[in-house]
Amino acid sequence: MRVAFLVATEGVEQVELTEPWKAVGDAGGERVLVSTDPGRIQAFNHLDKADTFPVDTTVKEASAADYDGLVLPGGVANPDALRTDTGAVAFVKGFFDAGKPVAAICHAPWTLVEAGVLGGRTLTSWPSLRTDISNAGGTWVDEQVKVCTSAPSTLITSRKPDDLKAFNAAVIREFGG
């Protein structure tokens, strides 16, 4: 299982990156940190700077064909930056076009809205995204974790860091780890 973790150069909620990263690694998966630019990304604990992490590859160099699944960590600034980057949006859409599983937590579904992949899907997120998801054709639910198996690909979503245990279990199960 080879999993891409897509994050912007800054603004990712650290725990929403590190906990799924650990779960995929513990399940024997290969993890690849993909970002919009090379170098290091700056994670946050809410609004405070946290650790930095080395980027393995960029969206310009990566292809959905190279991975078995995609994890989109949240944070407010992270998906807001990703949804304005055409390469990042195309990378995300590539997983849906290929029928590969995608997991998104907290504010991460903003990038899915921009990719135009939510029509007919049921998902959860941080509550403030409800209207954006509905306007994009999705159905928003308030659940700890929601697995939507609508064709062509599986979508796993959760609301917030408190949901990480359930989110990680669903990611490992649905990604085949």
Sign of the Cα torsion 141, 177, 96, 34 reads positive
Residues annotated as catalytic (active site), given as ranges: 106-107
Phi and psi torsions of 34, nearest 5° = -110, 135
Q: What is the bridge-based pairing of β-strands 57-58 and 30-35?
A: parallel
List of residues 6+ apart from 138 with CB closer than 8 A: 109, 118, 119, 120, 121, 122, 123
